[in-house]
Structure 1
Amino acid sequence: MDYALPCGELDTLFAGPQSVTPEQRRDLVDEIVAALRRRHGERLLAVALYGSTARDGDGPYSDVELWAVLDDEAYGEDYDESLEWVHGRGKAEVNLMSRSAIEAYAREVDEAWPISHGQFVHARALWIAPDHGALVESLRSLAAHPDDAAVDRAMAELVVGELYELVGKLRNRHGRQPLALLAGRFAEHLACLVGLAERHVYVSAGSLFDEAVDLGGPDGAAELFAQVVRGDFRDEAATVAALERAWAGLERWADAIGLEPALLRRCQAGER
């Protein structure tokens, strides 16, 4: 479907993101909301802004990110469409979902939950239809209070499906895989694991490690997060030791938070 919104050309695309003032970015947001209301009318239930612009933390080159909720009868209860385009000086994205689809997504818990669900927990409502005043807060609450069993499954998947595998790559590396890349991936998955344990949704991917440092977690986790933030991997032996320490700390930590039953199920072949 077409929307009468600002768009770019190939020359603006390959020029890369250009500086946009906060006022210009907010004017664009207003244009998008108005276009959504014109296009969908009474089928539109809510529009919210997320990301750095919603937090008034946007920089000159920040994207504009929104989600919008449509009545199930508009395009069906499974409706889920993403509009992403270069609007001339930057990029905009609007995620359009039916009410049923967005509620299901807000409830969903996977390994990336501490990052992905910030779009609900840290959202700013822009427009809400009459008689749907609680919709944005309802989605925020669904996202912020995940099912405990689903959290345990996601955490077990992170330990076995990601961290265990990365430790194998670390021990089998022989200088082939860049250690900085491996350490960054391990730290990101570990931060998501700690976020899940604490039911903490990070403010942004950019602040992930700074926030994770304050959440506790396994022995060695905070030190690894701090090292990744510094970006100092010159001492390979020290980096390997930091990764092995964080991995070794997982066993006691998993026992302390009651994760062992979920991990045991994940260690068995069969349905989980």
Structure 2
Amino acid sequence: MIGPREVTREERMNIANVIAKQLLDKYGADVEAIGIYGSLARKTDGPFSDIEIKCVLNSVEDGFSYEWTSGDWKAEVNLDNKENMVEEATTVEEDWPLTHGQFFTILPIYDPKGFFEELRQKAGSVDNTIFKEAVCKTLVEEMYEYIGKLRNIKIQGPETFLPALAIKIATGGAMILGLHHKRYFTTSAQVLPEALQFSDQPSGFDELCQLVMSGHLYDSKRIFDACEDFWNGLMDWSEEHGYIINYSNCVPF
């Protein structure tokens, strides 16, 4: 039967080193650096975790990936040049707290010039104004839309989408808090628990997260109330911190 099957950390590291050797054999002097990222790099991998590797090449123009399974385990290798990798590491979008932790915890396998340390420093030196812009963008493009959907459902249904929407609203709030604090989450499974550790959070966020994490998303009124309470708290919190939603009746083009 096809896996994944349980693989020890030692086995996973051995596989990663074999893959790295094959990359060096294939690309030779074109290789700038090879490193492991994700749970294996953080030493939080479980028995069924993937193997994730970054390979920096000097001559490639556009990045590409290999992703495959042996049947027992799965691996992914992302190949790109230094400039593209730095650009990716220093770009801040709404999901930055979930996607960019990888740049801070890369475990080098081959890195003679210290590129991954340079990458980590650049990823951590993005200006605060960029994070503020990302928060404002998330408020409009994600949260405002989610609350519109919530209120539509309250009027015309279907309430079957409410549990999924509550998860989206809670997760969107967590992304805003991660951006505000310039902190990344270790994994998607830890987004809400780690976001709740921030002392500076909007009113209603804790209650909504606790409801979502409990899995008890069958009471429609409770979901409506929790989401609306959080939205009101988020608006007050955003104003307090200078995150402004610009209103205009004019089309912006």
When normalised by structure 1's length, the TM-score is: 0.86
CA RMSD of aligned residues (A): 1.8
Q: Give matches, 1:105-116, under 5 Å.
A: 105-116=88-99
Counterpart check, 1:39 vs 2:21? no
Distance 1:266 1:258, change over 3 A: farther
User: 2:138 pairs with 134, 158, 161, which one?
Assistant: 158
User: 1:86 pairs with 69, 94, 100, which one?
Assistant: 69
Q: Give matches, 1:210-225, under 5 Å.
A: 210-215=193-198, 216-225=200-209
- 1:58-91: CA deviation from partner (whole Å, max 9, x where unpaired): 11211111112111xx123xx2111111123121
Counterpart check, 1:242 vs 2:226? yes
Structure 2 partner of 1:99: 82
Secondary structure of the residue aligned to 1:53 is helix
- 1:158-213: CA deviation from partner (whole Å, max 9, x where unpaired): 11111111111111112344211111111111111110011011111111111100
Counterparts of 1:195 and 1:140 in 2: how far apart (Å)? Answer: 18
Structure 2 partner of 1:190: 173
Query: Following TM superposition, by how much is the alpha carbon of 1:267 offset from its aligned partner in structure 2, in angstroms?
Result: 8.5
Q: Give matches, 1:168-183, under 5 Å.
A: 168-173=148-153, 174-183=157-166
Query: Following TM superposition, by how much is the alpha carbon of 1:101 offset from its aligned partner in structure 2, in angstroms?
Result: 0.5
Counterparts of 1:61 and 1:179 in 2: how far apart (Å)? Answer: 31
Structure 1 partner of 2:252: 270
Distance 1:266 1:224, change over 3 A: farther
Q: Which runs of 5+ in 1 are unaligned?
A: 1-11
User: 2:108 pairs with 98, 114, 125, which one?
Assistant: 125
Q: Give matches, 1:251-266, under 5 Å.
A: 251-260=235-244, 263-264=245-246
Structure 1 partner of 2:49: 62
- 1:116-148: CA deviation from partner (whole Å, max 9, x where unpaired): 10111122222202xx12x11121122223232
**Larger displacement relative to structure 2 (167-176 or 245-254):** 167-176
Counterparts of 1:143 and 1:21 in 2: how far apart (Å)? Answer: 31
Counterparts of 1:268 and 1:231 in 2: how far apart (Å)? Answer: 42
